[in-house]
Amino acid sequence: MIPSDEFLESKGIRPTAMRLLVFQHLTKSKVATTLSDIENAFAKADRTTLFRTLKTFEQKRVVHQIDDGSGIMKYALCEEGCNCELERDLHLHFHCTNCGKTICLTEQKIPHINLPEGFVAEDANLVLKGICDKCSGQ
Amino acid sequence: MIPSDEFLESKGIRPTAMRLLVFQHLTKSKVATTLSDIENAFAKADRTTLFRTLKTFEQKRVVHQIDDGSGIMKYALCEEGCNCELERDLHLHFHCTNCGKTICLTEQKIPHINLPEGFVAEDANLVLKGICDKCSGQ
DNA sequence: TCAATAAATGCACTTCCATTGCATTGCCCT
DNA sequence: AGGGCAATGCAATGGAAGTGCATTTATTGA
Ligand SMILES: [Mn+2]
Ligand SMILES: [Mn+2]
Ligand SMILES: [Zn+2]
Ligand SMILES: [Zn+2]
């Protein structure tokens, strides 16, 4: 397991204290994380800094932003070995309408869709909504 | 072609003047429509009324709401003959990053996805982003 | 080492859209 | 006509993203 600071540096990100904390928080989380989640996790942190930290992470392809339709953006670490640098990792996301949690289903890729003449797709977002495994009692 | 007021009544909606205008505006539009679009179309209308009109239409399955990830909700008429009353019509949507327009691709249904044990999907949203036919010059 | 420079952070403020409260108006039915 | 409910209009609120700018912290290079 490569240390966090080395990892961030390998991505071209200066490993400040704040960034390391955010990164490690994301590492621990099994579900996609909101800005408020992180804000609440370390009471000391300023929202703007966290916001910009996530933005930096996103630009450097450390995290991806997830719009699950809840109105609140979520973030999750990119998969190790995903080739985000070259093309987006188009896996799908599941949003539980019961507990509100959103998780990456990294194994489930968004299927290829044949579009009508003239349409060129560059990105895709597929969100399934329903009841997650925890909430369905399995 | 069934008259608008009869159609709305058949859906359990009182056909007020405002509602008829909104409905006809939606009928004419080839692309998904925002609240502001409608607001600008009839300078006289109040935003709140339009908002609640769309909400009513949505509840009565006259329109469906589209979250294309732009941060602004869009609305489009439900297909004639779609069985929205029973289950959602899970077609996909295309959002053009050039002109900002979003269109329903009602022919293209969201493919069925096999989920891991314990996950129960009740709804799905698939948005493709890219360049639309108009903007790609086809 | 120290000054110059650049990057990151913190606070306040703004923007944008969705949403609500409440008073008023309009419609329908008896 | 009048009672009652539905629809409307105006004002205000809320939540989240995003920006401006001053301050602090880190890096560089003389
Ligand atoms: Mn994901
Ligand atoms: Mn549609
Ligand atoms: Zn759940
Ligand atoms: Zn376009």
B60-104 tens-digit pLDDT: 999 999 999 999 999 999 988 776 666 788 999 999 999 999 999
Tokens matching residue A97:
């309408």
| pLDDT, position A132 | 95
Q: What does the alpha-carbon distance between residue A25 and residue B26 come to, in Å, rounded to a whole number? A: 46
Mean pLDDT of B51-57: 98
Neighbour-count burial of A132, counting CB atoms closer than 10 A to its CB (0-12 exposed, 13-18 middle, 19+ buried): buried
Please name which of B59, B70, B87 lies closest in space to residue B31, comparing C-alpha atoms.
B70
What are the tens digits of pLDDT across the range A8-49?
999 999 999 999 999 999 999 999 999 999 999 998 889 999
Residue-averaged pLDDT of chain A: 93
- Domain range for A109: 4-136
Residue nearest to nucleotide C10 (CA to C1'): A46
What number of other Cβ atoms are within 10 A of residue B64's Cβ? Answer: 21
Contact criterion met (CB < 8 Å) for B128 and A124 = yes
Rounded Cα gap, residues B57 and A109, in angstroms: 34
Q: Residue type at B62?
A: V
Q: What is the spatial distance between Cα B135 and Cα B138, in angstroms, rounded to a whole number?
A: 8
Residues 6+ apart with CB under 8 A from B61: B11, B78, B84, B85
- Fill in the amino acid letter for A14: R
Per-residue model confidence (pLDDT) at position A4: 84
Nearest CB to A120; choose among B113, B127, B136: B136
Burial of B62 from C-beta contacts in 10 A (0-12 / 13-18 / 19+): buried
pLDDT at A86: 66
| Listed range (A19-28, A124-133, B49-58, B75-84) with the worst mean pLDDT | B75-84
Short-list B30, B40, B119, CA closest to A105: B119
Judge if the beta carbon of B9 is closer than 7 A to nucleic acid strand D: no
* Number of folded domains that form chain B: 1
Beta strands in chain B (DSSP E): 33-34, 63-66, 74-77, 91-96, 102-109, 120-131
Chain-chain contact of B108 with A117 (C-beta, under 8 angstroms): no
Give the closest residue to A74 by CA, choosing from A127, A21, A112.
A127
- Residue B136: closest CA among chain A residues belongs to which residue? A118
Rama region for A137: left / alpha / beta (φ>0; ψ in -120 to 50; rest):
left
Any idea what the CATH number is for the domain that residue B75 is in? 1.10.10.10
Reported as half-sphere exposure (CB side, CA atoms, 13 A), residue A138 has a value of: 9
Model confidence at B125: pLDDT above 80: yes
B43 CB-to-strand D distance under 7 Å? no
For A48-86, the pLDDT digits (tens) are 999 999 999 999 999 999 999 999 999 999 988 776 666
- Ligand with minimal distance to B129 CA: 4
Structure confidence at residue B17 (pLDDT)? 94
B102-110 contact pairs (CB < 8 A, 24+): B102/B31, B102/B32, B102/B66, B102/B68, B102/B70, B102/B74, B103/B30, B103/B31, B103/B32, B103/B132, B104/B32, B104/B66, B104/B76, B105/A115, B105/A116, B106/B79, B106/B82, B108/A113, B108/A114, B108/A115, B110/A126
Enumerate chain A positions whose Cβ falls within 8 A of a Cβ in B. 67, 69, 92, 94, 97, 105, 108, 110-111, 113-134, 136, 138
